[in-house]
Amino acid sequence: MYTSLNRQRSDMTIFQKIIDKEIPAHIVYEDDKTLAFLDIHPAVPGHTLVIPKNPAEFVWDLPADDYQALMETSRKLALHIRKTMPQQYVHMSIVGTDVPHAHVHLIPFDQTVDFHNPERMQAEPDHQALAEIAKKLQISS
């Protein structure tokens, strides 16, 4: 299991704090190499982030087994989201720019979604709605 005990506090990303359970998150999946939780500023309900517990900034910097685990978890959750949420498709994007910790966005959709809406990012998270969706999407490893 990865921990951030050897990292400086100033190096800690919000994702590392979620991994370390220092801040709350609406977790839908966790295993020894990955963690998945709902985005608190979702493009749409069910917008899920999948992160490696190994804190690499870019997916290409991950060891092969961590990269493979990230992709397997993303696939597992995308299939589950398709079965659980009303949308027909799941958009997947791999990012590491807004938070310097590699992560995958899984976003259910039926048509074009404005993924970068600045107003949505400024809104107060609806934690009750997030908790209900997280309960619906949770799966065990």
Task: With residue 68 as reference, give the H or E element that holds it.
Answer: helix 64-84
Q: Is 119 left (phi over 0), alpha (psi -120 to 50) or beta?
A: alpha
Instruction: Pick the catalytic residue from 103, 105, 116, 127.
Output: 103
| Token output for 66 | 């961590």
Are the beta carbons of 106 and 50 closer than 8 angstroms? yes
Cα distances from 45 to residues 40, 55, 98, 123, 131, in angstroms, run: 10, 26, 20, 14, 11
Task: Classify residue 130 by its DSSP letter.
Answer: H
- In the residue annotation, 103 being an active-site residue is answered as yes
- Catalytic site residues? 103
